[in-house]
């Protein structure tokens, strides 16, 4: 196989990293919905922390994007 | 097609060419946006606090809201002795926030997507943690590598793990902010590029989706500035509080 082809296959494979971010964000909102269903009066505070947590979890998926860019431009 | 890739919006162009002692310190479009955002911050702070009214104007409400938010964040995370970091964290938050939001204007430049800028901000936090920690706690600062309650036979392993976690902090701070900005803008450009290839009659259809995505990018811009500030706050609390 040509080297360029392998490079692009590797770049495509980095999109698997999105799986982890999706699982993480899904988990956070799963827990958020459960918590709001149990205690609706605390939903304001819970939502704020959940959004911050979602920001963290999303960033982990974006690191794979950074690696993809590093592979393309190296 | 070569000059219109989705990544061409992050290209740095020189505006004024300056070369000092062999170092390239040209005035680029990145520095121009940084200058504009700093001037906007100073101007809005100045106008908002010039003659404060009991019933605040919208700008005054915005500035006071951000000030109180940062103050509460420091009080929650560091405690009362953290108030001397207030100016630094306040300006850090506003600088990142204005950088993210100014980047959302079409055809402008997002300087927070440049790793140089975010790495500099993160290293500033990193070195201030070390300096403040060493001057406040002396050698006791190194106890953050060995948390309380760890069994003695595990502590060599824990020290290595904690050391690497500590050294990875500026890198994760850097990459989180710049990757979020980079990915968001690239996503918008790629999706907008799909519209061009559609037949003429269907070009209106994806516009609601694009509008929702732009709204989401504004949300991400504010959220990432907040996360950057709160993480620096949490990291600084390590330096101030003794373990």
- B135-151, pLDDT tens digit by residue? 888 887 787 787 777 78
Q: At what angle do helices B207-240 and B86-103 cross, to 10 degrees?
A: 160
Q: What is the DSSP string of chain A?
A: --HHHHHHHHHHHGGGHHHHHHHHHHHHHHHHHHHHHH-GGGHHHHHHHHHHHHHHHHHHHHHHHHHHHHHHT-
B183 close contact with A: CB closer than 8 A: yes
Q: Tell me the mean pLDDT in the region B101-114.
A: 87
| Under-50 pLDDT residues of chain A | none
Radius of gyration of chain A (CA): 18
pTM summary value: 0.85
Size of interface A-B (CB pairs under 8 A): 32
Answer yes or no: do A59 and B180 touch at CB < 8 A. yes
Tokens coding B161: 């793990």
Q: What is the DSSP string of A41-61?
A: GGHHHHHHHHHHHHHHHHHHH
Q: Are B128 and B84 in contact (CB under 8 A)?
A: no
Q: Which residues of B are less than 8 Å from A66 in CB distance?
A: 175, 179, 182
Cross-chain CB nearest to B176 (options A52, A59, A69):
A59
Q: Is A39 helix (H, G, I), strand (E, B) or coil?
A: coil
Tokens coding B184: 């968001």
Q: Tell me the mean pLDDT in the region B117-125.
A: 91
Alpha-carbon distances of B228 from A72, B182, B183, B222, rounded to whole Å: 28, 16, 17, 10
| B213-229 tens-digit pLDDT | 999 999 989 988 988 99
Cross-chain CB nearest to B180 (options A51, A62, A69):
A62
Could you tell me if the ipTM is greater than 0.90? no
Query: Which pLDDT band, with edges at 50, 70 and 90, does B206 fall under?
Result: confident
Cross-chain CB nearest to A63 (options B175, B223, B226):
B175
Task: Quote the DSSP letter at residue B27.
Answer: E
Q: What is the separation of C-alpha A56 from the centre of its chain, rounded to a whole number of angstroms?
A: 8
Query: Which pLDDT band, with edges at 50, 70 and 90, does B243 fall under?
Result: low
């Amino acid at each position: 196989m040509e080297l360029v082809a392998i490079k692009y296959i590797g770049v495509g494979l980095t999109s698997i990293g999105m799986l982890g971010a999706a699982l993480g964000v899904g988990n956070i909102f799963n827990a958020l919905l459960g918590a709001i269903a149990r205690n609706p009066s605390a939903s304001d505070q819970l939502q704020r922390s959940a959004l911050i947590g979602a920001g963290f979890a999303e960033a982990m998926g974006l690191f794979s994007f950074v690696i993809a860019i590093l592979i393309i431009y190296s | 097609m070569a000059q219109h890739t989705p990544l061409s919006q992050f290209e740095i162009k020189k505006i004024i060419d300056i070369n000092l002692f062999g170092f390239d310190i040209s005035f680029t479009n990145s520095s121009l946006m940084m200058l504009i955002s700093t001037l906007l911050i100073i101007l809005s702070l100045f106008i908002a606090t010039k003659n404060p009214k009991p019933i605040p104007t919208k700008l005054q409400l915005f500035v006071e809201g951000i000030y109180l938010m940062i103050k509460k964040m420091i009080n929650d995370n560091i405690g009362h002795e953290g108030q001397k970091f207030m100016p630094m964290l306040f300006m850090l938050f506003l600088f990142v926030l204005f950088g993210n939001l100014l980047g959302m204007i079409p055809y402008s430049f997002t300087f927070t997507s440049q790793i140089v800028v975010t790495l500099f901000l993160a290293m500033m936090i990193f070195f201030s943690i070390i300096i403040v920690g060493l001057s406040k706690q002396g050698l006791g600062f190194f106890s953050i590598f060995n948390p309380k309650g760890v069994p003695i036979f595990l502590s060599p392993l824990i020290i290595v793990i904690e050391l690497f976690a500590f050294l990875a902090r500026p890198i994760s701070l850097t990459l989180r902010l710049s990757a979020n900005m980079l990915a968001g803008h690239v996503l918008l450009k790629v999706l907008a590029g799909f519209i061009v290839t559609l037949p003429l009659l269907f070009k209106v259809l994806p516009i609601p989706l694009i509008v929702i995505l732009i709204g989401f990018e504004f949300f991400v811009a504010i959220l990432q500035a907040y996360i950057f500030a709160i993480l620096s706050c949490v990291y600084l609390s390590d330096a101030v509080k003794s373990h």
